[in-house]
């Protein structure tokens, strides 16, 4: 299996622009997680899905952030409009093999100028 695949790996954009991050979980996994990592705040859970349904989005910072999972093999995290404080590495992870272990993608490094 290719593992969790995220795109883009790097994104540089200007304040006010829309940003869309993409994630393909491991096939057969039924849970998907979006995390954000910064030096100041560490790893923060933004939202997670179970069987494509959002279960807990209490970590989503504000209405500018939205996440969707239209099917079991694809999820997006959208920021509109983006702000410099959104600069971070965004990780997608999936689980569902019964071990409780999360499998992480390599992350999308976002820089908002």
Query: Do the Cβ atoms of 92 and 105 come closer than 8 Å?
Result: yes
Binding to other proteins by CB under 8 A, coded x per residue (else -) over 20-49, reads -----------x-x-x------xx-x--x-
Sort residue 86 into left (φ over 0), alpha (ψ -120 to 50) or beta.
Answer: alpha
Site for other proteins in 48-67 (CB under 8 A): 48, 50, 55-56
For the record, the structure tokens of 101 come out as 């272990």
Three-state secondary structure call for residue 43: strand
Pick 81 or 89: Cβ nearer other proteins: 89
The least CB distance from residue 107 to other proteins, in Å, is: 6
The least CB distance from residue 51 to other proteins, in Å, is: 12
Residues in CB range of 54: below 8 A, 6 or more apart: 47, 48, 67, 69
DSSP state at residue 97: S
Pick 4 or 67: Cβ nearer other proteins: 4
Residues that bind other proteins (CB under 8 A): 4, 31, 33, 35, 42-43, 45, 48, 50, 55-56, 91, 93, 95, 99-107
């Amino acid at each position: 299996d290719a593992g969790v695949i995220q795109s883009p790996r790097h994104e540089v954009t200007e304040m006010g622009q829309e940003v869309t991050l993409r994630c393909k979980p491991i096939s057969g996994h039924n849970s998907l997680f979006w995390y954000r990592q910064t030096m100041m705040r560490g790893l923060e859970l933004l939202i997670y899905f179970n069987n494509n349904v959002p279960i807990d989005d209490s970590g989503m910072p504000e209405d500018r952030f939205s996440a969707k999972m239209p099917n079991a093999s694809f999820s997006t995290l959208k920021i509109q409009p983006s702000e410099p404080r959104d600069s971070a590495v965004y990780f997608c992870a999936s689980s569902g093999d019964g071990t409780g272990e999360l499998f992480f993608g390599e992350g999308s490094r976002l820089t908002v100028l």
